[in-house]
Amino acid sequence: MSGYRTGTGWDTHRLVSGRALILGGVSIPSELGLEGHSDADVLAHAITDAILGAAALGDIGAHFPDSDPRWKGAGSLAFLKYAVELAAAGGFRLLQVDSTVILERPKLKEYRDPIRRKLAETLGLPVDCVSVKFKTAEGLGPVGEGRSAEAQAVATLVK
Ligand code: C5P
Ligand code: MG
């Protein structure tokens, strides 16, 4: 049996005024930001679930419940780092992450490399093993209407 494991992650958060838009730990200038208990970093949350999924370690809510004071006010990069450590404790090393953020506006292209660098640093990966893609929802559904953002991620681990 191959020692490779793949996990997927998905997340969504509402877009509201008066909140920061933080994606992959990078603060992006925007009229609207993501609502949530944490910093609502939808991209970090999707990648965290992908890593936990690859190691069959449950999901983000199982490890980082809103009720746990340990994580109160924590930036979502702390979740990511902890997921990598949990996987490592189970004998898994993270090899690669691919991800997509679906957001109508603002345009995110110019933030791709800063986000990749921040994620790579947090995950302990070379930057060329961290992929971040962006899509609009073409005006369709809550994402397309600018009411929310989504993120999807895939992570590969090796035992
Ligand atoms: O959704 P659509 O196919 O129109 O996106 C085209 C390109 O626009 C994407 O491949 C991505 O490079 C860029 N994009 C972006 N920021 C977004 C959405 C898309 O930079 N919020
Ligand atoms: Mg989330």
Give me ligand 1 centre to Cα 137, in Å. 9
* CB neighbourhood size of 157 (10 A): 24
Is the shortest distance between the CB of 100 and ligand 1 below 6 Å? no
> What digits encode the pLDDT tens for the residues 75-114?
899 999 999 999 999 999 999 999 999 999 999 999 999 9
Sketch out the chain's domains with CATH numbers.
4-158 (3.30.1330.50)
The pTM score is 0.96
Residue corresponding to tokens 């090899």: 95
pLDDT exceeds cutoff 90 at 53: yes
pLDDT above 80: residue 73: no
Ligand 1 contact via 60 beta carbon (within 6 Å): no
Whether 133 shows a pLDDT value over 70: the answer reads: yes
Q: How far is the CA of 152 from the centre of ligand 2 (A)?
A: 11
The rounded Å distance from CA 104 to ligand 1 centre is 8
- pLDDT at residue number 118: 98
87 burial via Cβ count (<10 Å: 0-12, 13-18, 19+)? buried
Q: What is the pLDDT of residue 46?
A: 98
